[in-house]
Chains A and B, each alone.
Chain A
Amino acid sequence: MQVTVNGAAAEVADDATVAELVAAHSTGHDRVAVALNGDVVPRTGWAQTPLTAGDSVEVLAPTAGG
């Protein structure tokens, strides 16, 4: 099925979870935060949160900033 990850279309398995998506998109980052359709998904809930076709996911990581 298709979801949107950080603004780009992405193909994921029909039974994919947030945890699997994060693992695929956040190589090299340990402090990551996830928003699913505009709501925060706490790290503790990633593995229990299934994705649905059309979901919009933001996978965020630290960067420099004032």
Chain B
Amino acid sequence: MLGGETFTSRLLLGTGGVPSLEVLERAVRASGTQLVTVALRRVEASASGSMLEVLDRNGVRLLPNTAGCRTAREAVLTSRLAREAFGTSWVKLEVIGDERTLLPDVVELLDAAEQLVAEDFTVLAYTTDDPVLGRRLADAGCAAVMPLGSPIGSGLGIRNPHNIALLREAVEVPVVLDAGIGTASDAALAMELGCDAVLLASAVTRARDPERMALAMRQAVEGGRLARGAGRIPRRWHAEASTPMHGLPEL
């Protein structure tokens, strides 16, 4: 359940960095995703309408982002423009505070989130892995909190798994691990930590074989979710034999 809608896939796919529409379509199908992020740019720099045709015919829902916005004012205006263009009030809210790391400006982020919730947007907030900030965003009415594992496009995985687990405990709304996923084990870890879903783009779109990586991510998300529900064994310092000692022959 996300923003009042039910999804059977827990993998959200970004389209950024996709090398071609053919690759995008194969990756979308392999991933099983039902929610795909898109962006708005000046018409002369934008993809032709065919990208949306590909997404439409695969039955995925669009999630516009506010990528590139640096202030709450820009992000709110971009969200309103996206609502016009895409006909959806859902938005992946990101407000960037640093060019090199693309880390969120959390002060502007919270300000924008409050304004957008007041305008009846369904806000999915891209944020740091700070559990206190996550709670503030949830309290502001965000439909989901989306902490980064590591900087966008870095592929460094989840640098602070403990914070992700704490954030999961801190809020009632869905937690979506967003940014930093490099490979399938990162996505599985996110789910094992209790995240409700994973959002990734570069890990698939810039992989050598995006379609195969999309399938890997799908199975990793499913595997991690199952493992979380199954309850892992406690970690031990030393071994605990799995084969019984009783009945061991003397040889």
Contact = CB atoms under 8 A, between A and B. Distances in A.
A29 B46 contact: yes
A3 interface: no
Contact of A61 (B18, B46, B80, B153): B46
B39 A31 contact: no
Interface residues of B, number: 36
Contact of B15 (A28, A38, A60, A66): A66
Q: Chain B interface mostly helix, strand, loop or mixed?
A: mixed
Given A65-B37, A66-B37, A35 B81 contact: yes
Given A31-B85, A33-B40, A42-B84, A62 B77 contact: no
Contacts of B80: 40
Contact of A63 (B51, B84, B179, B202): B51
Interface of B: 14-18, 24, 37-49, 51-52, 65, 67, 77, 80-82, 84-87, 152-153, 179, 201-202
27 contacts: A6-B42, A7-B42, A28-B48, A28-B49, A31-B85, A34-B81, A35-B77, A40-B77, A42-B84, A59-B42, A59-B43, A60-B85, A61-B41, A61-B43, A61-B49, A62-B38, A62-B39, A62-B40, A62-B51, A62-B86, A63-B46, A63-B51, A64-B16, A64-B18, A65-B14, A66-B16, A66-B67
